[in-house]
Structures are given as structure tokens and as C-alpha cells.
A and B are shown apart, each in its own frame.
Chain A
Amino acid sequence: MTTATYAGTHVILNDEGFFTNPAEWTEAMAPEIARALGISELTDRHWQVIRFMRNEYLTKGTAPSVRALGKTSGVSIKELYQLFPKGPAKTAAMIAGIPKPIGCI
């Protein structure tokens, strides 16, 4: 466990950097988390993926992996990797303040 301060608020992260309590997350924290992960500016396309991931997690209890994300988010797999070069599902989940998606595909 580690702590971080985003948008002036203390939050608790697990060893990999994912939020342990997604309820602590606010949209104002996203740009700061993204910058720490090497994404200097969040575009509308980034936000489409981030909001989709968070929404899926809040409604279904798990966030989609890359294949499902490519099929359902409205953003192709090619573009997903352009937006999040360090792994779309993993990075978007981190920025969206939700746990890492589970799955091998």
C-alpha cells in the first residue's frame, strides 16, 4: 500500500498504483494521474475510454480487458494503444481510479 495526493486529496493505492477504494476518486484527479503515467494531456478520446471503463466497473463490478474494450467502447484497438501506449485497459483503469481488469486477453 502507498498513498498519493491527487487534486489536493490523499488517496490509498495498492502496490501497482491502483486505487484501493474507487469511491475516493474524482474526475479532477484524472489529469494528474495521467501525467504521472506519461500522458501529458487527456483528450476527449481519452475521456471516452476512462468514463467507459469506470462506468463498466461501477455497473458490472469488473472493467473490460483490451479486446472487450475495443469492441464496446467505440474506440478501436489501434487507437486505444495510441491513446494509452503503456497498455490501454491497465492505464485507463489506473486513471479512472478502479481496480486492474482481470483477464488474460
Chain B
Amino acid sequence: MSTTIEKVAIVISKGSLEGIYPALILANGARAEGIEAELFFTFFGLDAIHKQRSKHIKLATVGNPGLHLPTLAGALPGVSDVMTQYFSQKMEHLDIPPIPEFIEMIADSGAGLHGCKATCDLFGLTLDDLIDQVKDIITVGDFYQLAAGGQIIYT
């Protein structure tokens, strides 16, 4: 068995800020190390590559115990926006780009972006609804073919 990773295939299945960033950091970090990367956006993870929605990804302030915010407080109108704004500013200070810029950067690094066919059928989405960097909408079988020989990371 090889002691180095040559390729990763990353599944992004969640549509929250904290659900999407780890996958993008893993993908970008892989490319920076010279590791091939393919990204498969499925279910609510598709929001990350949706033309309109990718600009408005929010932090989950309800049902997120890691935030240490009482659930009732998290549910108040505007709290999610404020917390998202707060985290986005902190990340910008750390040189972590906003999601649309981050995805463009990852595409520029040569990673492949793919939408999940089953989810696009379910949500009634076509390639036109997704950002231009998305190569195609593929089936799970196609995804396994792309992932062949590499490691699969599910987020």
C-alpha cells in the first residue's frame, strides 16, 4: 500500500456554513499538496454550487450544540445572519475566502466539481442553475468511477 495519498474524492452533503467549509478546506489543501481532488455535491450540499444560494450560506444556530448558544436564542429572527456575519469576518482575518470565491479558487486549482443527479432531479435543478465551474451532473456510479484509486471523504 502506498504511503502517500495521490487522489481524494470529497462528498459534500450539507448546506450549512459549518457543513461546507471543512470539505472546501480539505479539497483546497489536497490540491496545494499536489493531490488530485474531485468534489461531489449532493443533497443540501448542492447549495454550495447553486448560482444564487452559494452567496447566502448560513451558519446553523439551531440544533448546533458546538455553538454553545441556547436553542431558543438561536431560533430568534436574525440570529443566524448575525452569527454568520461574525464567523465570516473572523475567517476573512485568517485569510479564509468566502464560499463563492473559495469554490472558484478550488476549480482554478484543477479540482473537478460535480453535481449529484439524484439530488438535481429531486430539487428540479439543471446545470444552468449551478455555477459555471461545475463540470457536469453525474450519477453515483459515475462518482465511483471518478473516485477510483483514491480516498473517499464524506462530509
A residues touching B (Cβ–Cβ < 8 Å)?
A: 65-68, 70, 76-78, 81, 85-91, 103-105
User: For this complex, into which size category does the number of interface residues on chain B fall?
Assistant: 10 to 19
Query: Which residues of B in the span 57-73 have a Cβ within 8 Å of any Cβ on A?
Result: none
- Could you say which of B29, B32, B34, B105 has the most chain A C-beta atoms within 10 Å of its C-beta? B32
- In the assembled complex, the Cα of A103 lies from the Cα of B94 at a distance in Å of 9
- What residues on B are CB-neighbors of A85 within 8 Å? 34, 110
Contact A87 B108 (CB under 8 A): no
Contact B34 A105 (CB under 8 A): no
Contact A81 B110 (CB under 8 A): yes
- Per a CB cutoff under 8 Å, which of A78, A91, A103 touches B108? A78
Chain A residue with minimal CB distance to B24? Answer: A105
- Per a CB cutoff under 8 Å, which of A86, A91, A105 touches B95? A105
* Interface bits B83-118 vs A (CB < 8 Å: 1, else 0): 000000000001111000000010011100000000
Tell me if B25 counts as interface (CB < 8 A to partner A).
Answer: yes
Tell me if B42 counts as interface (CB < 8 A to partner A).
Answer: no
- What residues on B are CB-neighbors of A105 within 8 Å? 25, 28-29, 94-97
Knowing A105-B25, A105-B97, say if A77 contacts B108 (CB, 8 Å): yes
Contact A87 B25 (CB under 8 A): no
- In the assembled complex, the Cα of A66 lies from the Cα of B29 at a distance in Å of 10
20 CB contacts below 8 A, A to B, read A66-B28, A66-B32, A66-B105, A68-B95, A70-B105, A77-B105, A78-B109, A81-B31, A81-B110, A85-B34, A85-B110, A86-B34, A88-B32, A91-B34, A103-B95, A104-B25, A105-B25, A105-B28, A105-B94, A105-B96
- What residues on B are CB-neighbors of A78 within 8 Å? 108-109
